[in-house]
Amino acid sequence: MNTGLPEHLQRAWTLLHRAPIAMAETNGQGKIRQLNPKAVQLMMPMVAHLGLPGDNLLDTLAGFLPSARQAIAGFEGNSGLILEQEPYRLRFRIDSVLIERQFSLTIEKINDDSLLIFFEDVTDLLLKADALRYRL
Amino acid sequence: MSTTSTFSDPNLLDWLEQQTDEQLEEAPFGVVRMNRDGVVIAYGKSESHITGISQEYARGKYYFTQIAPCANNRMVAAKYALPSLDEELDYILTYVCEPIKVRLRLLKSPQSQYQYFLVDRKAFSE
């Protein structure tokens, strides 16, 4: 599977590798320390659209949701949830095709030098929920 | 292996098509050979060093859903729906959870038996 990892970390790697939610740990300014493949999958089209180098997740997310950076700057606790499942809409182009998606964003402060960032593309979930309501 | 080609060689697809699976696995840059359904046929040693995923684990699996979900988006995986593809782009892969900056080259042609996902880490190593 993943070479060089002890067995218990192999199992953790499988969870992180296949998780359907984007997860990342950054420093206090948003510089990425670690992230899972889903985070790369969702982040890279935003990075390309904004013309960023891709090493700062806050710069990328704030390009679409400027209030995220303000929420972090205004958070006064030493640790805790800064944003919880905050909805936001992304509009960007890939090869001149307009993409519009609905995202959900959670940011937790671990300490002054560590943020956990979770984000998810909930577009399909919202469409399924609408279809379910329509059937009812 | 016949004379080794380079990552940005304009005739790289022709060279790749002439290599056996075993020869591709020794290529000096990351090479993933997939069939037209996206199933991994050959997974290069260089690719394995970049991602940490073993060649044995990768072979026979769907590349964009089981091995590299990080590239399963419109920027990369969706491009393979095109009949012909030769594109280079900057991207990020993960070694466990560590971000690794790479240069990708996506290759296929209507005549080619396979499609290819190529990775060059050296372009970002300095």
- Global ipTM: 0.91
CATH class of the A7-135 domain in this structure: alpha beta
Residue A134, token pair as written in the block:
């329509």
Average pLDDT, chain A: 92
A40/B92 touch (CB, cutoff 8 Å), yes or no: yes
User: A3's torsion region: left (phi>0), alpha (psi -120 to 50) or beta?
Assistant: beta
Q: Which residues contact A109 (CB under 8 A, 6 or more apart)?
A: A72, A75, A77, A78, A79, A80, A81, A82, A115
Q: Which two tokens stand for residue B103?
A: 């240069």
Nearest to B117 by CA among B64, B65, B50: B64
Radius of gyration of chain A from Cα atoms? 16
Q: How far apart are CA A103 and CA B82, in angstroms?
A: 28
Contacts of B72 in chain A (CB under 8 A): 41
pLDDT the model gives residue B3: 67
- Asked if A87 is an interface residue toward chain B (Cβ–Cβ < 8 A), one would say no
Q: Give the pairing type, strands B98-108 and B115-120.
A: antiparallel
B68 contacts: CB under 8 Å, gap ≥ 6: A37, B32, B51, B93, B117
Collapsed DSSP state (helix, strand, coil) of residue A41: helix
Q: What is the pLDDT of residues B40-86, one digit of tens each?
A: 999 999 888 888 899 999 999 999 999 999 999 999 999 999 999 99
Per residue in A11-52, pLDDT (tens digit) is 888 889 999 999 999 999 999 999 999 999 999 999 999 999
CA distance A58 to B91: 18
Distance from CA of B29 to the nearest CA of A (A): 18
Tell me, yes or no, if B71 comes closer than 8 A to chain A by beta carbon.
Answer: yes
**Chain A CB within 8 Å of residue B24 CB:** no
DSSP-assigned beta bridge partners for residue A111? A114
**Domain boundaries defined on chain A:** 7-135
**pLDDT per residue as tens digits for the range B86-120:** 999 999 999 888 999 999 999 999 999 899 999 99
Q: Could you tell me if A3 lies within 8 Å of chain B, comparing CB atoms?
A: yes
Query: Which of B73, B76, B124 is most worth mutating to test chain A (most A CB atoms within 10 A of its CB)?
Result: B73
- Confidence (pLDDT) at A8: 84
Residue A125 tokens read as 């979930």
Class of domain B28-124: alpha beta
Q: Which residues of A touch B57 (CB under 8 A)?
A: 1-2
